[in-house]
Amino acid sequence: MGLKENLERVHERIRRAAERAGRKPEDVKLVVVTKYVDSSVVKELVRLGVKDIGENRAQDLVRKYDEVNDPNVTWHFIGRIQTNKIKYIVPRCEWIHSVYREEELEEIEKRASALGKVQKILVEVNVFGEETKAGVRPEEVEKFLELCKKYDHVLVLGLMTMAPYVEDPENVRWGFRRLREMLEELSKHNGGNVFLRELSMGMSNDFEIAVEEGATMVRIGSAIFEGGK
């Protein structure tokens, strides 16, 4: 199957998952993860109607941003953040999904302030407790959100997580549910530059479960480029 058919299939799977959960499919944003494809493929995706592109390496982001050169594309940085690369990310990305350290906040604030920009971010939470994964521990998220309130050019709009790869995605449903419950609980304290409403969770292997549990953004690559069920 081609890119167009795979994209349509993913949209259909999102639609069905949303409807199973009594949600509107349009409330789920598809962020297409393009880390393994070049700019010509990104341009084709845009031609097919994709509006949101996710990159996880700053150097690839810079190159593709310049080569695609389309003001209608919304860029998302979804990977592990190297503090010295934030200067490349902030001028190009509307969303940074993977913030979890104070030094990242400080550098984002510095770069956004210089641009006269308010940077939208999501706080990465290590819900699944994996030693190899980044993210704020669940019990420390509230404290981290308070820390975020110090920064005038940072706007915290939600939470993000990455699930481990499992054969049966039902085995990670609990983590997605927990992140949603955290967002619902913590949003009671919304104010200032913290307004929790977005849940970035779910990738090619488990996005339907994530949508059923409340994801507002899913980050999908291989299901679009390689096909799938």
209's tokens:
């479960």
Residue carrying the six token digits 């010509």: 40
Q: Using alpha carbons only, what angle is made at residue 126 by residues 215 and 185, rounded to the nearest 5 degrees?
A: 55
Cα 62 from Cα 113, distance rounded (Å): 20
Contact 124, 78 (CB under 8 A): no
Residue 221 is predicted with a pLDDT of: 97
pLDDT score recorded for residue 227: 73
Instruction: Write the pLDDT tens digit of every residue in 19-30.
Output: 999 999 999 999
Ranges of residues in the chain with a pLDDT under 70 are: 1, 228-229
Q: What pLDDT, on a 0 to 100 scale, did the predictor assign at position 229? A: 54
According to DSSP H, which parts of 94-158 are helical? 102-115, 141-148
Rounded Cα gap, residues 197 and 217, in angstroms: 11
Q: Are 178 and 127 in contact (CB under 8 A)?
A: yes
Fold type of domain 3-225: TIM Barrel (3.20.20)
